[in-house]
């Protein structure tokens, strides 16, 4: 079940020989359930760090992150990534080269009964417009097709929140513009809460219901 996201007074940073290096300070964000938000800004402003904190890959120095009613991170609280019901689509797609498209999409559904898993995989391949490509390996697919398989895989476990880290940056301009619209429509049809990280203002305006403009600390 998709859920709202609330980030309050988030502080991120890491220890260096010179002391604490602050990446983000006092960051707030609210995303209603079913909405797409975009974190827009130049490299080094903390966009990907926010995604990593939401996913549980980066510790929080201060502040809190709630997904629906669940506290993911906060004072003395750090829910493990596998318990957060958060999906993530990476810039490089991260498809397993030795698995077919069907197997990639179903990778996170291994605990499902076989029949239910197969039904879910076929459903998602149809949703992303690749119903006939399930038996192909990643190297047999175009960049745009690989991206859609990666999206289907991220959506497969029905995450409460989907994180997209610069998913269009490796595509040519025409493919990027087309897939931005396609992915937006897929997410909206699914009622999926999502956060897109990008440095491209046009991409953010096309995809998102709300835009958070970020600058380096």
Give pLDDT, residue 155. 87
* Pairwise CA distance, residues 39 & 134, whole Å: 32
**Per-residue pLDDT averaged across 53-69, rounded?**
95
Instruction: Read off the pLDDT band of 110 (50, 70, 90).
Output: confident
Give pLDDT, residue 9. 97
| pTM (two decimals) | 0.87
Instruction: Read off the pLDDT band of 171 (50, 70, 90).
Output: confident
State yes or no: pLDDT of 80 exceeds 80. yes
Give pLDDT, residue 191. 92
Give pLDDT, residue 91. 73
Give pLDDT, residue 130. 92
Q: For residues 183 and 16, which has the higher predicted lDDT (pLDDT)? A: 183
State yes or no: pLDDT of 105 exceeds 90. yes
Give pLDDT, residue 54. 97
State yes or no: pLDDT of 144 exceeds 90. no
The least confident of 76-80, 165-169, 195-199 is 165-169
């Amino acid at each position: 079940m998709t859920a709202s996201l609330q980030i309050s007074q988030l502080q991120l940073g890491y220890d260096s020989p010179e002391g604490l290096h602050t990446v983000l300070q006092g960051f707030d964000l609210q995303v209603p359930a079913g909405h797409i938000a975009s974190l827009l800004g130049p490299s080094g402003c903390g966009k990907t760090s926010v995604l990593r904190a939401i996913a549980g890959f980066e510790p929080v120095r201060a502040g809190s992150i709630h997904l629906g009613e669940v506290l993911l991170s906060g004072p003395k609280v750090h829910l493990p990534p596998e318990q957060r019901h958060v999906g993530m689509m990476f810039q490089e797609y991260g498809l397993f080269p030795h698995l077919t498209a069907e197997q990639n999409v179903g990778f996170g559904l291994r605990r499902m009964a076989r029949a239910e898993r197969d039904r879910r995989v076929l459903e998602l391949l149809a949703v992303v417009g690749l119903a006939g490509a399930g038996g192909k390996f990643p190297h047999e697919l175009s960049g745009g097709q690989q991206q859609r398989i990666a999206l289907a895989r991220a959506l497969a476990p029905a995450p409460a929140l989907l994180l997209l880290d610069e998913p269009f940056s490796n595509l040519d301009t025409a493919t990027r513009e087309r897939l931005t619209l396609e992915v937006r429509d897929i997410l909206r049809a699914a009622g999926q809460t999502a956060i897109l990280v990008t440095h491209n203002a046009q991409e953010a305006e096309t995809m998102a219901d709300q835009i958070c403009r970020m600058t380096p600390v």
